[in-house]
Amino acid sequence: MTSRDKLATMTDEEILAHYRNKHGDPHMTLSMAREMHRAAFKYLHLSARAEQRKAGISLPEDDPAWQERIRQAKHRVAEHEQSDD
């Protein structure tokens, strides 16, 4: 089961207990815990990338050739947008 699957299947009680424990706030409301949970779920892909970088795993966007292809694609889009004007 992936982290995304685990987050998606948490009950309200589990969400509340997790975020109360994580932030050390025994009086945190369920609505606040749910909001934190939504944000964690929404940005899970970014935290996974950060963990990969910490572990020294090479990511595609770290490759200079990949960065050059992106730069060229952006340049082509900008030229196309200018020609439409």
| Two structure tokens written together for 73 | 């694609």
Q: What is the pLDDT of residues 53-79, one digit of tens each?
A: 888 887 777 788 988 999 999 999 999
* Residue 69 per-residue DSSP state: H
| Two structure tokens written together for 25 | 């706030």
pLDDT at res. 1: 58
